Chains A and B, each alone.
Chain A
Amino acid sequence: MSTVAEERNARAPWALTAPALMLFVGVLLIPLAMTVMLSFHDWGQYKGIEPVFILKNWQEIATDPYYAEMFRRTFRIAILTTLLTALLGAPEAYILNRMSGRWKSFFLLVILGPLLISVVARTLGWALLFGGNNGLVNKLLMSLGVIRSPIPFMFTETGMVVALAHVMMPFMVLSVWAALQRLDPQIENAAMSLGAGPVTIIRRIIMPQIMPGVLSGAIIVFSLSASAFATPAIIGGRRLKVAATLAYDEFLNTLNWPLGAAVATLLLVALVLIVVGSNALIERRYAEVFR
């Protein structure tokens, strides 16, 4: 039987995708290439950008310990945020999955909904909750006896990690949730009928099966946290810089565009390598799950 698709000529898919392809080449690939080139240009306070090919900006990033410290901070925050979302998000997705129909969809909406709410508004909420040494969070933690003296949250990495973890949490829950949907509940019942306790079931049955979901969630959370802008800028203030806020400063305050472009290019390359590398590792390790 001949289908509609077969009757059309072979050039059809290219004709249909050509406008989008031209758009992407013209206003995505070319600007990205221009940015990489910009990072090799010279810049001076009075002369502005000079289109020559030099390694000055890259040398500055490689030798000045300020940039090493800044990138270390960026990745430290991203790693801690990823760990926090995995430790809290995975159990939550599991609990959510065991709820009955109506509650499940209600809480799914409550937890995933913030994903679409403005990051500025969400971070503002944390700034209000942290608010100095007698902020709500500190008052609550002290009255519960969790801490003795207030923890400084504003303008610290601690505060950035907490607020970022909140912003990124839906991605982790979503990713583990997707892995749980592929899980056969009968396996859990079989383990139980064979005498496995709840701890054994979680450790031996559930964990290995949702691990790919946790790891792919971790990749998303990590790459988004490492390049996050709004939350570090609002919680971290003007002094505690991460890669994205530093690039912003170079572009819009110092106006040293070539240096800013080098920071951005390095961030992009580092993230692409990390994401592609860990994706490959995960797919090899869990090949059977992705089949």
Chain B
Amino acid sequence: MNEVTNIVVEALPQVQGYVYPNEAGLHPVWSTLIVIYPYITGLVAGAFIMASLVRVFNVKALAPVYRLSMLTALAFLLCATLPLLCHLGHPERCYEIMMTPHMTSPMAIFGFVYAWYLMAVLLLELWFDFRQDFVKWSKTTPGFQGLIYRVLTLGVTDLSEKSVRLDMKMEWILSIVGIPSAFLLHGYVGFIFGSIKANPWWGNVLMPIMFILSAIVSGIALCVFNYIVLTWIRRKTVDMRCLDTMAMFLFYALLVDAVVETLDVLHRGFAAEEGFAVLQTMIREKLFYTLNIGQVLVGTLLPLLMLGLLQLLRRRVPEAARRTMIFCSGAMIMFGVLMMRWNVVMGGQFFSKSFRGVMSYKMEFAGQEGWLISVAILCLPPIILTVLVKLFLSESEHLKPSEHLPETGANS
């Protein structure tokens, strides 16, 4: 009897209500790795949009963080595909998606979107921005580091006024190309979820828009976080004008994001389609902590309150308090967006396609889908960023606006 009942006892706590037989076993197929994949891509897109505020929209106050946000975008982009590689297994086959591309598969197209964004937008823009510095550093830095700079100049040492003006113009063009590319990069992730029409939690035309908006929010928050941490490590003073401007953009981006996500909830509630009852169960039970507490309260309402207060009382709040409030809001927003990714990815797998039952999930620690590997992947971009900052953001130059200010590029 033991032998028989063991199986039943094992199967029952995993499900509640009515689920199809094939849903009781293997769920969920996508777990923590697929949660951090859109999270990392979103941070890349957001950090890039943040940088393009300087380059395209000519927000001069943000110039001190331009290079930092570009390097942040690069460091995170280099790790953006790692969660997918670990999730799918057989990383040695990763090149095949590029060798035999299938043009009707969104996953295959992502290979090209990613390559385009990395090679044609981010690296090129960074190269044009750093080119003059590469030339200067390659002449003054000895040893291996000097060799790196020499290689990065690609052998072009021309620093004439004409060529510098061309650099700026190229940067400006690349930024303009970069904004739709960043939207494409992250809109694609929303597109993948939004086009799964059999799943009421995912299949939604607002999905790409919500993904892009939350990406912008998380990217700006990451830049705020990185900027404050970097100035703290280097014992420099924070440029409060820059930080206040970042906080302002963060507030407005978060406001728009919160409004669109609320619109989504209201629309779902009003339309109350077939699967609405099970979605209510999800919000009230399965995703209570990650959605209501993590995403809405910690990730949206509290930062909105803090940042909103700062917008109203900016000058009356002492600098140290303002810095702390902005730093905390940034950290909370990044946490909240991670929770949002969790709610989207995991939420869609917690309920049965019958809409009358829910499955449960116990997070693994080790193993291919465990959270250990996800944490390891999330730790990687900051390590890469540290190396990049060490190489390309020297202490003396850090905090100074980038040498060529955008207006010349924009007006030429």
Please say whether chains A and B are actual partners in one complex: no
Binding site for A on B (CB under 8 A): none
